Amino acid sequence: MAKLQFELVSPERIVYSDDGVEMVIAPGADGELGILPNHAPLLTTLGIGELRIRKGAEEESFAVGGGFLEVLANRVIVMADVAERADEIDVARAEAAGERAERRYREMPEGLDIARLQAAVRRSSLRLKVARRRRRRPRMEMPAGKPSVRHPDV
């Protein structure tokens, strides 16, 4: 079966790179995108959301905010404005940032940029969601040689 060559880059670094990815699920600007091997060429913008990659029984999660996704010849390149691996997210810091933004929103000081504040709350919520999913989900592998679902004809 064909695999995807996947690369997630931010302005600071290469966040993730792998040649054996089976599926990429990304937050497109207009909704979630699923990319499988042999996908048609595509260039699209990204929204703020969770990007997931699947490789066998493993799934990796990333918090991404803005940027572009390109698919070409079984290669997926994500150029994100902001990208963070789930295991790199500082939960306490993300919670504090969300609380600060919500407190400012409730206080409504003069000249408050509501759009910026809403974006800060969304980023904080996303980072917490991605980090908590990573910590909650145990890495499970199927025993070798055993089917995962029993079919009546087997």
> Residue 134: what pLDDT?
62
Per-residue pLDDT tens for 59-86?
Answer: 898 989 889 999 999 999 999 998 988 8
Judged by DSSP in three states, 51 sits in strand
Q: How are beta strands 75-85 and 48-55 bridged, if at all?
A: unpaired
Tell me if 49 sits within 8 A of 126, measured CB to CB. yes
pLDDT, tens only, 104-129: 777 766 666 777 766 777 777 777 77
Rounded distance, CA 87 to CA 38, Å?
30
C-alpha to C-alpha distance for 57 and 52, rounded to whole angstroms? 13
Which among 83, 95, 90 is positioned nearest to 120, based on CA atoms?
A: 95
pLDDT at 97: 78
Q: Which of 64, 37, 39, 42 is nearest to 51 (CA)?
A: 64
Q: Give the chain's end-to-end CA distance (angstroms, integer).
A: 23
Going by C-alpha positions, the residue among 79, 119, 78, 77 that lies closest to residue 101 is: 119
Please give the single-letter amino acid code of residue 14. I
pLDDT in tens, 86-110: 887 777 887 887 788 777 777 766 6
Q: What is the mean pLDDT of residues 129-135?
A: 70
Give the integer Cα–Cα distance in Å for 45 and 62: 16
**Predicted confidence (pLDDT) at residue 137 exceeds the cutoff of 60:** no
Beta strand 75-85 with 14-21 is unpaired
Q: What mean pLDDT, rounded, does the chain reach? A: 81
pLDDT band at 3 (very low <50, low <70, confident <90, very high): very high
Q: What are phi and psi of 74, to 5 degrees?
A: 60, 25
Catalogue all structural domains in the chain, each as residue range(s) with its CATH number. Answer: 4-87 (2.60.15.10), 90-135 (1.20.5.440)
Among residues 80, 75, 86, the alpha carbon closest in space to that of 21 is found at 75
